[in-house]
A = this chain, B = another copy of it.
């Protein structure tokens, strides 16, 4: 874009505290920017900073014309009001797609959100790239977070899938997954989805990244998905691994959202 249009897209990330997992996610995002020529700006604030300091950081990025996407790495420290801080992000820089107006416009099929959650877009991208038809297919989503479950369920419905959303309170979740053509798990529970939960030939997307203890690993733990891969791989017709499955595609979608935002600003939209 720099060469073609003389502009560089910019992504700003606000990181509060020193959670190892958040730091590593932010590192991946910054690295992703570098690889594709997006400028990245990082505001790091200490765990004990005030809500207002976080909002100030966000506001500065909102006003910076070289920034086209602003995101606050979640989760925030418990003493902070997540909603208030996310509300501070400009609607037109909301590259995570968490703003209620973006969510509402995603839910209403006749409307068009400015941004859609990166994880939701990543799930769809993986399905499209694998040539999997969604129209009328029964997709079960495990988990209903605003980051993954909710936006993925809404995006799939725009593509005419039949969507079931199951969660911690669901009675007999495996009965519903066993009736599904596609299972997308974002529950945050290691090895929740067993082979017996799946229909023969089902497509499985594992969005879970759960740390499990592993003395053999350099860090003392490793990341594992929601799906018991060894069992599921014998039943599924296609399955994403953890790590290395949805994660990198989610970063790519974040970069794509940032690029789209910059193109909108510079009048280069498709």
Contact = CB atoms under 8 A, between A and B. Distances in A.
Interface in A153-180: 154, 157, 160, 162-167, 169-171, 173, 175-176, 179
Contact of A107 (B82, B154, B160, B167): B154
A169 B136 contact: yes
**What is the interface of chain A mostly: helix, strand, loop, or mixed?**
mixed
A138 B171 contact: yes
A100 interface: yes
Interface in A97-135: 99-105, 107-111, 135
Contacts of A167: 160, 162
Nearest to A137: B171
Nearest to A103: B104
Contacts of A105: 100, 104
Contacts of A76: none
Nearest to A136: B169
A144 interface: yes
A179 B170 CA distance: 13
Contact of A108 (B100, B138, B170): B100
B176 A108 contact: no
A135 B169 contact: yes
Contacts of A233: none
Nearest to A146: B108
Nearest to A181: B171
A165 B157 contact: yes
A150 interface: yes
A144 B165 contact: no
Interface string A237-259: 00000000000000000000000
A83 interface: yes
A161 to B, nearest CB: 8
Contacts of A146: 108-110
Contact of A164 (B111, B137, B144, B163): B163
Interface of A: 82-83, 99-105, 107-111, 135-138, 144, 146, 150, 154, 157, 160, 162-167, 169-171, 173, 175-176, 179
Given A136-B170, A138-B171, 6 more contacts: A83-B111, A100-B105, A102-B104, A108-B150, A136-B171, A162-B171
